[in-house]
Every structure is written in structure tokens, then in C-alpha cells.
Amino acid sequence: MDEFAFIDSIKQTKYRHASVIKGIGDDAAVFRENYQDVVTAVDTFVENVHFSRKTMAPFHIGYRVLAANISDMAAMGATPKSYLISIVVPKDWTDEELQEIYQGMNQIAKEYRLDLIGGDTVSGNELVVSVTINGAVEKNKARYRSHVRAGDVLFVTGTLGDSAAGLAVLLREEFSEFTNKDYLLSRHRQPTPRVEFAKGLAEIDRVALNDISDGIASEANELAKASNITIHVEKDKLPKHEALEQFPQEDQLEFLLNGGEDFELVGTVSEENWEKAKEIAKKTKTSITKIGYATDVNTTNGHVFLYTNGEKELLKPSGYTHRN
């Protein structure tokens, strides 16, 4: 299929947002946000680096690529609205597989009301899917990593490590007969960005937010560094799905702390706003757990500490990173 046929096949006939003035079909797309700030991010996924056809069907690849981008919008408190796809397609990928990637994106785009407004499809030797997402947020209301303050409650949404556990089930023979496989696989392949909860937080004036793409250890360190503050995490409070219990202790800990791509949110609010945050979580059907707090101590600012039965250790940002 040539580029034009591919673009025609995925072109939306109707856009979900009135802000889209011109979608696919010219040199560029045009959209309008009169009263809001535009939030934008790009994420790139490479076959055999970020995913493998052994563990993900093309549909899941598409779904998860866009999920990662949507999660970036949630982490900014923004409403995701439109996206542009860039795909490098190798010869050994069939048109059907390519279509399935798109169908995966289209599925999550429908769920989160996104419009596909542009793209570029080119040939290459290795599948690369890169998505640029655009969202909107009330003026000056984007949520930054630098907004943590002393005394804040540190929280996460959902449960941690599920995606990494799902991947382990797929890759490691000894886990292949575990129960709750469907749950773990779906968490790995079709994560749920926490957009509604993040938007609900608009009621609260100051919120620091980060999404968990590289594991809580890494993300908490980003918050501590960006806010120049000290963050304290209590290990026993890290929210864990019962499906994780069947893994060896060591793996459980690795999944919980460094398991990437859960696309949950980690953030902080002031102590006084914690009750409100819990109400918003309830209203948006999102589980939320207090896992620690922030302090302002000159000598330790920029660092994260992990507590296990009263024992304190430095938690390094040795999160899940793709090194090849």
C-alpha cells in the first residue's frame, strides 16, 4: 500500500472536536484553542526495543503507543484532543498488520475522544511508530513536576507493577501458568491512562503530577529533582494487585519499584487537599493510595527515600529505561 492509500484508509470522515479546523488532507492540520493552553508531546516506539511481535499483536502496539501519549496528557492535567502518527514500515509487515496497528490506535482514540489529524508513512527496515499528541488545559493550569511542596501527600493511582508482571508472564516460562494472566496481559497491552482523574483534580489549585512510564522509583525522583524537595516513600503502602502475590518476592519488588509502563499517575497535593483528592478519585472511579510525603530538607532535596519496616534507604531513579 502506498502512503496515500494508507492515509486515505485511516482518514476520519468526521472530527470529534470542533477545535479541529482542518484534519488530514493538506500540507498541515489546523486547530484552534481560543481559551486554553495547548499541551503537546511526542513518543516513539521501536520494534524489538519497546515492543516485540512475540508479546504484542499489532492491535496492541497501536493501542499502547497512543496510550503512552494520552498518559502524558493526563500527567499535565490536560484533555487529549488530537494526534499525528508517523510510521516507518518494513517490507515484512503486511498491509493487514499495519491496519491492525491503526485499529488499535483508533480503539483507544474512540475511548478517549481523540481525532487523528495528520501523519506520515514511510518505508524502512525496522518498524517505528511515533505519535505526537495535542491536548488542551485551562490557561496556566498545566500540572508540573516542579509543584511539589513540603508537607505534601504523595499518592499514586491504580496498582503498580502490573504491566511489568504481564510482560514477565509472556517472557518467562516459569510464570506462564500463573493465574490472573488475562488481567496482567491486559494491563501490559492495553493500559488505562488516568485522564478523568487528572482532569477532576482541576478543583485543586496546586497539584504536582507525573505519569508512571519508567517505574515509581524513576518518576518519584523526577518529582524530587524538579521540585528540589525530599520525597519519602513507604514500601508497604505501594498499591499491589493480588495477581502479583504469586511472583517471587524479589520480582514483586522489582515490578513495584521499577516496573515501567503502568501509565498510572504519581503526584502530590497538600495535606489539606488530600480528602478532596480522594473524593475526586471516587467520582472518577479511580483508586488512589497515599504512599508517602514530601519534606524540605536542604541536604537531601532532590532525593527519594524508601522506608521498609522503619528502615530507610536511598531510592535511586534506576527505573526501567530502554537501553540497547
Residues that bind its own copies in the complex, under the rule CB under 8 A? 2-3, 21-22, 25-35, 37-46, 49-50, 72-73, 75-76, 78, 84-88, 91, 117-120, 122-126, 128, 130, 132-135, 137, 139-140, 142, 144-146, 209-211, 226, 321-324
Q: Which is nearer to its own copies, 222 or 251 (CB)?
A: 222
Minimum CB distance to its own copies, residue 129 (Å): 10
Beta-carbon count within 10 A of 124 CB: 11
Q: Is 63 annotated as a binding residue?
A: no
Minimum CB distance to its own copies, residue 146 (Å): 8
Minimum CB distance to its own copies, residue 244 (Å): 26
How far is it, in rounded angstroms, from Cα 291 to Cα 92? 46
Minimum CB distance to its own copies, residue 170 (Å): 21
Minimum CB distance to its own copies, residue 272 (Å): 25
- Name the residue type at position 300: T
Phi, psi at 68, each rounded to 5°: -60, -40
Q: Which is nearer to its own copies, 82 or 252 (CB)?
A: 82
Do the Cβ atoms of 265 and 157 come closer than 8 Å?
yes
How far is it, in rounded angstroms, from Cα 96 to Cα 297? 56
On the 0-12 / 13-18 / 19+ scale of CB atoms within 10 A, 91 is exposed
Q: Is 72 annotated as a binding residue?
A: yes
Residue 241 in grid coordinates: 494487585
Q: Is 296 annotated as a binding residue?
A: no
Residue indicated by cell numbers 514483586: 252
Q: Which of 4, 71, 87 is nearest to 260 (CA)?
A: 71
Q: Which is nearer to its own copies, 123 or 228 (CB)?
A: 123
Q: To which H or E segment does residue 22 belong?
A: strand 20-22
- Binding residue ranges for ATP: 102, 119-120, 145, 213
- Binding residue ranges: 27, 43, 50, 72, 102, 119-120, 145, 211, 213-214, 261, 320
- Binding residue ranges for Mg(2+): 27, 43, 72, 120, 211, 214
